[in-house]
Amino acid sequence: MIYRTPKYTKSFQCTADKCRDSCCIGWEITVDARTLAKYKRMRGALGEDIRKSLSPDGCFLLGENMRCPHLLKNGLCRIICEKGDAALCDICREHPRFYNYYGDLCEWGVGLACESAAQLILSAKAPLAFEEEEKEGEVEDCDEALLSLLFSEREKMLAFALDEKRGLSEKLFILESWAEDLQEFIDNADICKELFVFCAENQDIQSFFTEDRFAKYRKIILSLEPLSELWTARCENVSLPIHTDENGAIFSRLLAYFIFRYFLSSAMEGDCTAGMGLALFSAAWILAICESEGRTTLEGIAEAAKDFSKEAEYSEDNRDAVLEAFSAFNG
Ligand code: SF4
């Protein structure tokens, strides 16, 4: 199995006690069955405390201020301090990594909901450089012809999203048309015999940032289940962004992250517009939040991106609702 990841992923480091928005606060973690069995056998005070901290269905019950019961006052994890990383459950060990599987290919990376990962993603000098590694893994059946077409289009889309010569509005507008055309092609053409051709230069470009689109985006974001009340208030204050080319390189990397993570997985299920819709919506909404809050530095933008990700991307229900809103299956 080939494991493929953006090169920058290898530089990821959890900042642990220096983290200002720890993933050990606010999220109820479900412990996987294998680790649960290990915790049931663990001896000593830690084993006892872990067992006491679990709900009947195997979740760590959050303590005061929504903290994980094993998060020490100094910001470090007691389980790691006493037993090392190997004693963590799958979710705690893997966060903020994500994995997407396509046949004998596994694409993985780090997710935006972590402040350290967000800074890495937005500052990557070569966001399109990948590293591949061959490792054992379970190969799933997949439509090879479809994968080859979608993979090659997705690579072109990524290069287009990161093209410094184009403005953000133009990129978003064209990528939307690209995904729609590709959808039409996979719905109607014989992909083994016919060639898909999309020419960005021939598109009749209009502004992506329109009042109508933003009214739709606002409706979507406000329909999601908020994790914090502050988030709703922040979204209510957002207006149509005007300076859409400021910090273009940073927002393009953000766009590339969402396309890399979501386009291929939804397209492999026959839905090219859902993953792309989520990517365009996410990049545009984060840009709008940054403009309305006057965030212009990489750190400020990364923080807004992280907040958005926690609310709309890392809540599975919310992410599914966003994908649904842009799904080709919705007519
Ligand atoms: S959010 Fe990221 S940097 Fe912060 S504690 Fe979690 S993994 Fe570490």
Q: Amino acid letter at 91?
A: I
What is the DSSP secondary structure assignment for residue 123, as one 8-state letter? H
pLDDT in tens, the chain (331 residues): 999 999 999 999 999 999 999 999 988 899 999 999 999 999 999 999 999 999 999 999 999 999 999 999 999 999 999 999 999 999 999 999 999 999 999 999 999 999 999 999 999 988 789 999 999 988 989 999 999 999 999 999 999 999 999 999 999 999 999 999 999 999 999 999 999 999 999 888 899 999 999 999 999 999 999 988 899 999 999 999 999 899 999 999 999 999 999 999 999 999 999 999 999 999 999 999 999 999 999 999 999 999 999 999 999 999 999 999 999 998 6
Query: How many angstroms is it from 18 CA to the middle of ligand 1?
Result: 9
* CA 107 – CA 100 distance, rounded (Å): 5
Token pair 């397209």 in the structure block, residue: 267
Is the Cβ–Cβ distance between 328 and 183 less than 8 Å? Answer: yes
**Torsion sign, CA atoms 279, 284, 238, 294:** positive
Nearest C-alpha to atom 6 of ligand 1 is from which residue? 23
* CA 170 – CA 208 distance, rounded (Å): 7
Question: β-pairing, 130-134 with 97-102?
Answer: unpaired
Query: How many angstroms is it from 89 CA to the middle of ligand 1?
Result: 15
* CA 261 – CA 282 distance, rounded (Å): 12
Q: What's this model's pTM, rounded to 2 decimal places?
A: 0.94
Cβ count within 10 A of residue 5: 20
Nearest C-alpha to atom 7 of ligand 1 is from which residue? 14
Name residues contacting ligand 1 (CB within 6 A).
Answer: 14-16, 19, 22-23, 95-96, 114-116
Nearest C-alpha to atom 5 of ligand 1 is from which residue? 22
Cβ-in-10-Å burial (0-12, 13-18, 19+) of 276 comes to: buried
Query: How many angstroms is it from 16 CA to the middle of ligand 1?
Result: 6
Query: How many angstroms is it from 328 CA to the middle of ligand 1?
Result: 35
Structure tokens at 302: 């990364």
